[in-house]
A and B are shown apart, each in its own frame.
Chain A
Amino acid sequence: MSTSPLIEIRDLRIRFHGDDGRITHAVDGVDLSVANGATLGLVGESGCGKSVTSLAIMGLLPKQSAEISGAIRFDGFDLLKTPDQTLRDLRGIRLAMIFQEPMTSLNPSFTIGDQIIEAILRHRGGSQRSARERAIELLRRVHIPSPERRIDEYPHKLSGGMRQRVMIAMALACDPRLLIADEPTTALDVTLQAQILELMRELKAASGAAIILITHDLGVVAEVCDEVAVMYAGEIVERAPVDELFSAPQHPYTVGLLGSIPRLDHRAEQLATIEGMVPNMAQPPAGCRFAARCPFVLDACTKTSPPLLEVGPGHLSRCIRAPLELLVS
């Protein structure tokens, strides 16, 4: 993309020091950037490092156990070197995050109005009354029916889909430039998922904010993202514009993921499976981390770690066998 990126992550490495002295390499040399107004999908399975990456952006990792290196440039700041106080101001005003489980992110003993108003007063100031009006306006924007009444309700009175809307309203309270959504629809039924995705699209069009959408659901990615980064065992293994990724993936792991989704158009007797297990991240294997599970593996794959190389316009792959078309032609 031609515009300069809103956020740029360079060589991000995150290590966790366990109580037993073991070190887990959760994220290992991640480079990412997101342009203004773009939506990046961050895809991968449990433990691949996608959520940890987003928590690092937000500055929410525990300082005692997480060792972070690299750079996260956002809006003229390096977030990894920004003092806590400044970071607190950035969060909320320019950076916001929504999580998978809205019930655990809302305080059950305050009304949703109290919680949204608190965010507005904290970051924008103004009078209680104007903050309340803005909160009602936000609830209306996320399509909560009769917001004047709902604003005084407690979280437990709301359904799951409604709570997720409140979370989105709160995240939008100060018009953030970047919204990180960590599995925002995973806990919801398809009908509600459709509503929330629709809402996210609408809000993006209205505000021009960039979104990082973390998910394991490739269907959701296809629907809302412009660009996709696939993570495996702490590394980005493939990065591509969304159309490219779904039509001509260039990493075997992505091929396996796409093959393992049941499809609506035709019924395969057997779905593709990825044999074996994710490597132990306390001792990541030498060479390609996917080698042990890869059907296209060569001897060279297990020797040195492959670099993330451009295989097409804006299309990067961490596989020495790319372009993969050559394997089947």
Chain B
Amino acid sequence: MALLEVEGLVKHFVAERSLFGRALAHVKAVDGVSFSLDTGKTLALVGESGCGKSTVSRLVLRLIEPDAGAVRFDGRDLLSLDANGLRSFRREAQIIFQDPYASLNPRMTVGQILTEPLALHDLVPAPRRSERVSELLRLVGLEPRLARRYPHEFSGGQRQRIAIARALAVEPKLIICDEPVSALDVSIRSQILNLLSELQDRLGLAYIFVSHDLAVVKHIADYVAVMNLGQIVETAEADTLFAAPRHPYSRALLSAIPVPKPRAKSSRIVLQGEIPSAINPPPGCRFHTRCPYVVDRCRSEMPWLVADGIGHATACHRTPELPSSEAIVPMDGGFSPVLEKLVAAFSGGPEAARGGGVRSLGAAPTTP
């Protein structure tokens, strides 16, 4: 059974009210989104700003109330939970945000920040809490003595580690990562991504990973759902999607990824026109105003998400007739052999460099 099942989720925000408070216009932020997620797996939600990916992640946690749809977590119907039930659910699902500066209280020490959830949910008896805090800090690669410090004394990457430790404090099964590495520098970003995968392996966590960085998504996700204007237009296993995206929107999105290889072969599709407003999404297929393959039917009839035999689903009338998309995603062609060795030596530390021996990049991290 899936850990999380989402069905027909809808959320419309009121964009404009009349003098008497009657709603005049709605932003259709999320309009009929369904997916499921298994324990220990990562689902990435991708799409342009305003496509509804962050709203979906908040609906799943019931941080905002959906207008329609169903969310089942571990067999329980989330939308019918009362305050108590919701509180115990929050112990099983946590969220980390993009901005680690804004998500930690500057007036609390790291120790206090991490103790709070333990006390709130009465998870660990008071005398053993500081021990648990040390354990959590070690888990995210920080030294336990840092518990006495305040958030401003840490760098961005370290703060994101603290935010992750806080999410882990309640031993959740699901963590929603909303752009967790977007505000971080490249070298720090890789540390946090490594940490997230390590923790997933060790603790069997499921992630919903919201990101606009598609190379990062390719690296971390098992499944990907591509969203456009409040709807999922394509969903598949990450490797399948990146090998051959089907929906014209996914094609454009994936073809636009800049790859760190000069003169990389690419067949970039540059979309013309602007993203339509979610207040008045276009009728029919919501992508038709920007779609290079548009036909009359797309302007009037909304396509449904239809899955093939291996669970690769696409919402496009023209799926079977579109040209092959195998060469759409730009290839970085890998590193030159010398660079490959250098990177391995760089990760392997001084011994590897000095001895000329190369340790595999996939070497398991040493667990304390």
In the complex the two chains form, what is the Cα distance from A297 to B346 in whole Å? 11
Mask: chain B, 336-347; 1 = CB below 8 Å from A; 0 = not: 101101111111
List, in ascending order, chain B residues with CB within 8 A of A193's CB: 256, 258
Q: Give A223 Cβ to nearest chain B Cβ, in Å.
A: 5
A267 touching B219, Cβ below 8 Å:
yes
User: A193-B258, A264-B215, A264-B257 are known contacts. Are A255 and B339 too (CB-CB below 8 A)?
Assistant: yes
User: A258-B343, A270-B361 are known contacts. Are A246 and B262 too (CB-CB below 8 A)?
Assistant: yes
List, in ascending order, chain A residues with CB within 8 A of B155's CB: 277
Q: Give A26 Cβ to nearest chain B Cβ, in Å.
A: 17
B274 touching A159, Cβ below 8 Å:
yes
Q: Give A78 Cβ to nearest chain B Cβ, in Å.
A: 33
A295 touching B352, Cβ below 8 Å:
yes
Nearest B residue (CB) for A162:
B274
B63 within 8 A of A: no
User: A189-B212, A219-B215, A223-B258 are known contacts. Are A265 and B347 too (CB-CB below 8 A)?
Assistant: no
Q: Give A248 Cβ to nearest chain B Cβ, in Å.
A: 6
In the complex the two chains form, what is the Cα distance from A191 to B269 in whole Å? 9
Nearest B residue (CB) for A194:
B256
Nearest B residue (CB) for A325:
B338
A295 touching B348, Cβ below 8 Å:
yes
In the complex the two chains form, what is the Cα distance from A256 to B263 in whole Å? 22
List, in ascending order, chain B residues with CB within 8 A of A242's CB: 262
Q: Give B142 Cβ to nearest chain A Cβ, in Å.
A: 13
Mask: chain B, 236-258; 1 = CB below 8 Å from A; 0 = not: 00000010000000001101111
B68 within 8 A of A: no
Q: Give A240 Cβ to nearest chain B Cβ, in Å.
A: 11
A222 touching B275, Cβ below 8 Å:
no
Nearest B residue (CB) for A259:
B343
In the complex the two chains form, what is the Cα distance from A216 to B342 in whole Å? 21
Which bracket fits the contact residues of B? 35 or more
B8 within 8 A of A: no
B194 within 8 A of A: yes
Nearest A residue (CB) for B275:
A159
In the complex the two chains form, what is the Cα distance from A193 to B48 in whole Å? 11
A195 touching B330, Cβ below 8 Å:
no
A286 within 8 A of B: no
Contact of A269 among B274, B335, B362 (CB under 8 A): B362
B264 within 8 A of A: yes
A268 touching B185, Cβ below 8 Å:
no
List, in ascending order, chain B residues with CB within 8 A of A297's CB: 350
A11 within 8 A of B: no
In the complex the two chains form, what is the Cα distance from A270 to B359 in whole Å? 12
B259 touching A264, Cβ below 8 Å:
yes
User: A259-B346, A265-B334 are known contacts. Are A272 and B271 too (CB-CB below 8 A)?
Assistant: no
Residues of chain A from 250 to 300 with CB closer than 8 A to chain B in the complex: 252, 255-274, 277, 295-297
In the complex the two chains form, what is the Cα distance from A148 to B190 in whole Å? 46
Q: Give B162 Cβ to nearest chain A Cβ, in Å.
A: 16
Looking at B197, B216, B260, B330, the one whose CB has the most chain A CB atoms below 10 A away is B260
Residues of chain B from 263 to 285 with CB closer than 8 A to chain A in the complex: 263-264, 268, 270-271, 273-275
List, in ascending order, chain A residues with CB within 8 A of B264's CB: 222-223
A198 touching B258, Cβ below 8 Å:
no
A328 touching B341, Cβ below 8 Å:
yes
User: A45-B187, A217-B258 are known contacts. Are A271 and B346 too (CB-CB below 8 A)?
Assistant: no
B363 within 8 A of A: yes
Contact of A295 among B197, B338, B350 (CB under 8 A): B350
A60 within 8 A of B: no
User: A248-B338, A260-B190, A328-B345 are known contacts. Are A222 and B260 too (CB-CB below 8 A)?
Assistant: yes
Q: Give A169 Cβ to nearest chain B Cβ, in Å.
A: 16
Nearest B residue (CB) for A44:
B185
A306 within 8 A of B: no
B299 within 8 A of A: no
Looking at A217, A221, A256, A295, the one whose CB has the most chain B CB atoms below 10 A away is A295
A161 within 8 A of B: yes
Q: Give A268 Cβ to nearest chain B Cβ, in Å.
A: 5
Looking at B185, B216, B350, the one whose CB has the most chain A CB atoms below 10 A away is B185
Looking at A189, A264, A270, the one whose CB has the most chain B CB atoms below 10 A away is A264
List, in ascending order, chain A residues with CB within 8 A of B186's CB: 45, 216, 218, 257, 260-261
A256 touching B332, Cβ below 8 Å:
no
Contact of B260 among A246, A255, A273, A327 (CB under 8 A): A246
Q: Give B366 Cβ to nearest chain A Cβ, in Å.
A: 12
B48 touching A261, Cβ below 8 Å:
no
In the complex the two chains form, what is the Cα distance from A129 to B110 in whole Å? 62
B262 touching A222, Cβ below 8 Å:
yes
List, in ascending order, chain B residues with CB within 8 A of A159's CB: 274-275
A329 touching B332, Cβ below 8 Å:
no
B214 touching A190, Cβ below 8 Å:
yes
Q: Give B152 Cβ to nearest chain A Cβ, in Å.
A: 15
Q: Give A150 Cβ to nearest chain B Cβ, in Å.
A: 11
Residues of chain A from 194 to 210 with CB closer than 8 A to chain B in the complex: 194-195, 197-198
A265 touching B331, Cβ below 8 Å:
yes
User: A45-B186, A271-B190, A273-B187 are known contacts. Are A328 and B329 too (CB-CB below 8 A)?
Assistant: no
Residues of chain A from 178 to 193 with CB closer than 8 A to chain B in the complex: 189-193
Contact of B347 among A162, A217, A223, A272 (CB under 8 A): A272
List, in ascending order, chain B residues with CB within 8 A of A309's CB: none
In the complex the two chains form, what is the Cα distance from A271 to B352 in whole Å? 16
Q: What would 8 A/B residue contacts be, using CB atoms closer than 8 Å?
A: A46-B185, A223-B264, A242-B262, A258-B343, A261-B215, A262-B190, A264-B215, A270-B347
List residues of chain B with CB under 8 Å of any chain A CB.
Answer: 48-49, 155, 185-187, 189-191, 193-194, 197, 212, 214-216, 218-220, 242, 252-253, 255-264, 268, 270-271, 273-275, 329-336, 338-339, 341-350, 352-353, 356, 358, 361-363, 365
Query: What 10 A-B pairs are tightest by C-beta distance, nearest first?
Result: A219-B258, A262-B219, A260-B190, A259-B343, A271-B190, A274-B187, A194-B256, A328-B341, A45-B185, A269-B362
